[in-house]
Amino acid sequence: MADAGEPEGPERKDDIVKAKQEGKELTKEEKQRLRKEKKQQKKSKEKKDDKPSRDSEKEKKPASAASPAPQTPTQPPAQKAPSAAPAPVPVPASETPSAADKPAKSKAELKAERRARQEAERASKGKKGDVGPQAAPGKPKAPPSELQPVVKRLPEHVQVDNPEVLKKLAKKLERQQTPEYNAATKIPLRSDYGYKVSLFSHLHQYSRKAPLTQQLGIPSTVIHPAIVRLGLQYSQGIVAGSNARSVALLHAFKQVIRDYTTPPNEELSRDLVNRLKPYISFLNQCRPLSASMGNAIKYIKKEISNIPSQCKEEEAKRKLLNCIDCYINEKIVLAAKAIAKYSIEKISDGDVILVYGCSSLVNHILCEAFEKNRKFRVIVVDSRPRLEGREALRRLVQKGINCTYVLISAVSYILPEVSKVFLGAHALLANGYVMSRVGTSQIALVAKAFNVPVLVCCETYKFCERVQTDSFVSNELDDPDDLIVTRTGTTQLEHWQEVPSLGLLNLVYDVTPPDFVDLVITDLGMIPCTSVPVVLRVKNVDQ
Amino acid sequence: MMEPKYQNLVEYFRAQMRKDPDMASAVAAIRTLLEFLKRDKGETILGLRESLKWATDCLTGEDSSVAVSSGGELFLRFISLTSLEHQDLSRCKKVMEERGELFLEKISMSRTKVAKLCHTFIKDGAKILTHSYSRVVLRVLEKAAAEKKRFSVYVTESQPDSAGRQMAEALRKLNVPVTVVLDAAVGYVLEKVDLVIVGAEGVVESGGIINKIGTYQMAVCSKAHNKPFYVVAESFKFVRLYPLNQQDVPDKFKYKADTLKTVQNLSEEHPMIDYTPPSLITLLFTDLGVLTPSAVSDELIKLYL
């Protein structure tokens, strides 16, 4: 909804007047719009100086309106400058110093310029007609009913090969700095690395040798140091695993809240949310956010905006820290205990259990079952290049569990011995598909062919409303250089970038269809894979 | 322990079963529990719940079908779902008794509801295959015959108790042409039939069913022949089990109650029930409506959570 979805100033004022006259209850929206207006006016004052680029803007605007408008993850209250106003990306750094040198224009001239721009925009909008679901649901103005096909909006992180989207992302990162700071402390845009396989060219591919933190100035005044450290830990793979990443994120946010002071004339509930936005963009650049992290962030934002305005700062901070602790305790720690309780019923003596990779939850379950004196043995399946199974193997053997270790290529060989398969999940999608480490769907498929029951263990906070039927549309590409070194240490692929027809693909996730999964164990109980939307519905009703 | 109480309970249950042989064992169990509630002299709500649980266990010991245990649990849930805010215990008990009567009324109508839903799926000239003796399936076929539909039925003999023959007798009384086939002849006869209808002793969380041994076989064969496999069951048969395969069904349901008490080595005994996974079932007809196997979990969440 970033693209010209905003009715311009004078129109909006009419709407508000109309609403007041009609006596409609639009106070919240009015406030939002007035706030937006204020921000836009501020911004348009800043960007008065890019007159030469304005014409190119107008040309670009219809072109970008035609392409599917990206959905910026940050929502309306913060910023929706009309696309005619913001500066073009290609020369952001060089422009702003030069802009500061230009003399300020007189007020009348600025007004005339603004009016001319708005007219031009309105003309181009009228030509284009209804650009899909642009009109936000709350606005009283109905979109013109032309027979344009509804444009589906894709998230920006799966449109990496669309240069318009990249420009918008860079613009967004610029905008997220608070106005007092200059361009040197803005959030950098991380660039892609290496040749991408064409089927996945719509995704980001970063190199671990170029972490985002190298491009940040010292001291970075925009991003809190705890968040910088977290971002580095994510991008280097030091903190990995869905639960670990969410817990680390929540702890970093706790530190941010502790160090936060409300600026004068601002409300904690609004300002803190705005503070968090650049942090989240930064973390997203370091490593794409997982579904569990997304849900945690949504929860925190909700809690922050629910703080009553008369609440004192100390008390508000204490409340928020308490909320976060509760969330971690309930959704992760206690959920693991509940899931272990249900899973132990399904583990009988003499079982041979197959696990893949390193899932903190599955390891916890097996350790608990072993402590309750169940007699079973475990087969750990591992795969390159992460070799996470070794970590799982280490933890299980330490407890004294009888383990076997194989690589994923041997899975069809050992499956006849196996009685059950336990898998962890990164997220559970609304159509019942399980998103997990790459290789999981392969194991589920082979297990199904051998009629071995497949059990997925997942906490409810990892359930997400997205729908996906294949692993291409939305995924994560890891550093391709990880594939260069083999087990024996040979590096035959070291000069892969020089071979023009060679691409290295290091996928991180894949999706497993619900027909391959027999049972999902959650903290609410044992449900079939097709009942995930029921749980989502029940959860939404609770909230 | 409480021997006379136990005796009374079991005798009342048996009397109920004898009085109306057409009634489901679960309904008899619920009647018994209601009577037990009325006669109970407990002083606290918690004590009442404990004694009701004990009574359900006794009845499961008497008749080990899945339906008795699920019916008992549902009864307990249904009556205690009300907010029991009354201070007076006797008033609470009255409320519970009223709700118990309501529950009983609802479930005695359930077979009629199921029959009304299912008979439309039986077309004129259809050939139906069914398994063993099921009163619900009988009711459905009665309704279809009353609607002047012409159909013929194949019934499996269903060893070891030859319950299929009982079903054949009942169908002959309705003037429906019926053939008894061997259990081993299911694959042979499936090419002639149009649809398969079976009852269920229990419907599990995954949407699968627990029924007389031989049902799983029939389901696999009908899948291979692409014939629809319909299950008719009342809603009090929904149970909170989730078996992964045949071995995962608890022993207390697999064998008859007396077998469990007397026999030492269960591996020599033959199980009386098997589990049919939801992937082999086309539709389930219940008094809550016509459900697909994946919707069963939805209903269970509504009933139990």
pLDDT at residue number A433: 94
Cβ contacts of A102 within 8 Å, gap of 6 or more: A49
Where residue A132 falls among pLDDT bands split at 50, 70, 90? Answer: very low
Question: Do A531 and B244 make contact, defined as CB atoms within 8 angstroms?
Answer: no
Alpha-carbon distance A293 to nearest alpha carbon in chain B (angstroms): 27
Chain B residues inside the 8 Å CB shell of A530:
294, 297
Residues of chain A with pLDDT > 70, as a percent, come to 75
* CATH fold of A185-333: Four Helix Bundle (Hemerythrin (Met), subunit A) (1.20.120)
pLDDT at residue number A87: 38
A13 class by beta-carbon count within 10 Å (0-12 exposed, 13-18 middle, 19+ buried): middle
**In whole numbers, what is the pLDDT of chain A averaged over residues?**
78
Q: Could you report the per-residue pLDDT of A254-279, keeping only the tens digit for each?
A: 999 999 888 888 888 888 888 899 89
Q: Bigger pLDDT: A417 or B267?
A: A417
Most confident range, picked from A297-306, A480-489, B62-71: A297-306
Q: How far apart are the first and last CA of chain A?
A: 26
Q: Bigger pLDDT: A305 or A22?
A: A305
State whether residue B116 is helix, strand or coil: helix
The DSSP call for residue B271 is P
Q: Bigger pLDDT: A103 or B46?
A: B46
How much is the average pLDDT of A438-443? 96
Distances (CA, A) of A344 to A125, A335, A366, A520, A526: 61, 14, 8, 14, 12
**Residue B285 pLDDT > 90, yes or no?**
yes
Question: Do A528 and B305 make contact, defined as CB atoms within 8 angstroms?
Answer: no
- Map out the domains of chain A as residue ranges: 185-333, 346-471+507-542
**CB atoms inside a 10 Å sphere around CB B120:** 12
Distances (CA, A) of A413 to A342, A351, A385, A416, B123: 30, 18, 21, 7, 49
Chain A residues inside the 8 Å CB shell of B245:
453
Alpha-carbon distance A524 to nearest alpha carbon in chain B (angstroms): 9
Chain A residues inside the 8 Å CB shell of B294:
528, 530-531
**CB atoms inside a 10 Å sphere around CB A318:** 14
Calpha distance A6→B14 (Å, rounded): 75
> What is the value of ipTM here, to two decimals?
0.82
Helix-strand-coil percent breakdown of chain B, rounded to 5? 55, 15, 30
Domains of chain B: 4-108 (1.20.120.1070), 114-304 (3.40.50.10470)
**Residue A144 pLDDT > 70, yes or no?**
no
Where residue A177 falls among pLDDT bands split at 50, 70, 90? Answer: low
pLDDT at residue number A5: 40
A346-471+507-542 sits in which CATH class?
A: alpha beta
How much is the average pLDDT of B60-72? 80
Three-state SS string across A73-113, please?
Answer: CCCCCCCCCCCCCCCCCCCHHHHHHHHHHCCCCCHHHHHHH
How many helices (H) and strands (E) in chain B?
A: 13, 10
Alpha-carbon distance A8 to nearest alpha carbon in chain B (angstroms): 47
Chain A residues inside the 8 Å CB shell of B301:
527, 531, 534-535, 538
At B305, which amino acid appears?
L
Calpha distance A154→A72 (Å, rounded): 9
**Residue A180 pLDDT > 70, yes or no?**
no
Question: Do B205 and A530 make contact, defined as CB atoms within 8 angstroms?
Answer: no
**Residue A39 pLDDT > 50, yes or no?**
yes
Cβ-contact A269, A307 below 8 angstroms? yes
Record the pTM: 0.75
